[in-house]
Amino acid sequence: MFKLIPLLLLALGVEAQNRPIRLWTPEVGEKWQIILNSTIAINRTTNLVPKGVRIWEVDLFDTPRETIRELKRRGNRVICYFSAGTTEDWRPDFRNFTSEDKGACLPEWVGERYVDIRKPSVFNLMRERIRLAGQKGCDAIDPDNIDVFSNEQGFATNITRNDAIAYFRKLADEARQLRISTGLKNAQPMLPSVQDVVQFAVNEECTIYNELTPRPAEPPRGKAVFHVEYANFKFDNQSTSIGAPEISNDDIDQLKNMSSRALYDKYCNRNTEFDGLFSTTIKIMNLDGQVLYCDGQFADTKMMPLNPILKGWAGECNLTKSESGAGVAAANGTLVTPPFANATSTTIVVTPNGPVVIPTAPPKQPRSIRRWYGRG
């Protein structure tokens, strides 16, 4: 009898190993909120907005475990963001990247270089980040910059799409072992090859850059696509409106003469075959607490002020111009007004002429704001 017990335990262990791991898969069309430039101000008595939102994306490093725990105590799911394809020289594990791991600087993003995702040393660092997500209680991860293959990388031999697919599948498998879901960020060309290991997708600006015509990038079958478009929110005492981001390229310049309502309808894919297909949010480019949804709901999630973030401190990729979300100083030391002038955290950018502080004065907003444009 007693000799059978070890065999029984062994059989149970094998059965547990073979049992499928069930991962959280969000419902298509669920609302979400994404905040990456600060920490959500929340405790047991906080009135959290936007109401009715049950999926929150936050920064893996900046968000305390207690914040994630409180979000989950209220019945929310938490997606944790980190960059899986670049260094960020303000992150606590930055010094663990070797010079051989690093490639070219990201255009317009201070302090970031592409990393060679083929190297075991890079994967080992990302595995530690996934483990950190598990320790903090994240339900899912959003590993960014997987699409390094589509950019100027700076390596002797270019990273290919197949390299990125193999790397992403390893990340997703590592997350799966910890019962953490994985989303694919942008990188639409990879999607058919990773359908079986993703639980959702995250896409930035597929509408503004006309990536939905003549047909959409194939979404994960039956899975949510969390979609974000960027705009400027404009407030006065009686009304609100949105405008195109304050950056300049051919696609965005075409939007700058559109009315607020027309731009809103475009971002939400109104009267198209894609209307209602995605979980769309309209955000300011710095991804603070302000958010607008396609059902007309607007909210401004309260955030905690962060300590100043020093980017470019190690001489990493100091920029000479500002055309996009980096919002850094020009080479002559004059400050370029960032498109996210309503940031709630301070960024200090090291330039060839010394550190420059990006100003942070959030605009005053009327308390009466409740809803924007509804479907009516």
Q: Tell me the pLDDT tens digit for each residue of 147-165.
A: 999 999 999 999 999 999 9
Band (pLDDT 50/70/90 cuts) for residue 370 is very low
Whether 340 has a pLDDT exceeding 70, the answer reads: no
| Amino acid at position 239, single letter | S
Tokens representing residue 243 in the block: 């405008």
Which of 60-69, 232-241, 261-270 has the highest average model confidence (pLDDT)?
A: 60-69
Whether 365 has a pLDDT exceeding 60, the answer reads: no
Q: What per-residue confidence (pLDDT) applies to 372?
A: 35
| Amino acid at position 121, single letter | S
Q: What per-residue confidence (pLDDT) applies to 91?
A: 94
Whether 376 has a pLDDT exceeding 70, the answer reads: no
Q: Is 257 exposed, middle or buried (0-12, 13-18, 19+ CB in 10 A)?
A: exposed
pLDDT in tens, 83-125: 999 999 999 999 999 999 999 998 878 889 999 999 999 999 9
Q: Over range 365-372, report the average pLDDT.
A: 32
Whether 57 has a pLDDT exceeding 90, the answer reads: yes
Band (pLDDT 50/70/90 cuts) for residue 53 is very high
Residue 109, Cβ neighbours under 10 Å: how many? Answer: 19
Query: How confident is the prediction for the chain on average, in pLDDT?
Result: 80
Which of 54-68, 249-263, 319-333 has the lowest average pLDDT? 319-333
Q: What per-residue confidence (pLDDT) applies to 234?
A: 80
Instruction: Provide the CA 327 distance to its chain's centre, in angstroms.
Output: 18
Whether 12 has a pLDDT exceeding 50, the answer reads: no
- Residue 374: DSSP 8-state: -
Closest by alpha carbon to 345, among 38, 35, 81, 110?
A: 38
List, in order of start, the domains of the chain with CATH numbers: 21-304 (3.20.20.70)
Q: What per-residue confidence (pLDDT) applies to 341?
A: 35
Band (pLDDT 50/70/90 cuts) for residue 20 is confident
Ramachandran angles phi, psi of 81, nearest 5°:
-90, 140
How many angstroms separate the Cα of 150 from the Cα of each of 88, 114, 147, 189, 229? 19, 11, 6, 10, 21
Whether 343 has a pLDDT exceeding 60, the answer reads: no
Which of 128-142, 186-200, 269-283, 298-312 has the highest average model confidence (pLDDT)?
A: 128-142
Whether 26 has a pLDDT exceeding 80, the answer reads: yes
Whether the Cβ atoms of residue 146 and residue 185 lie closer than 8 Å to each other: yes
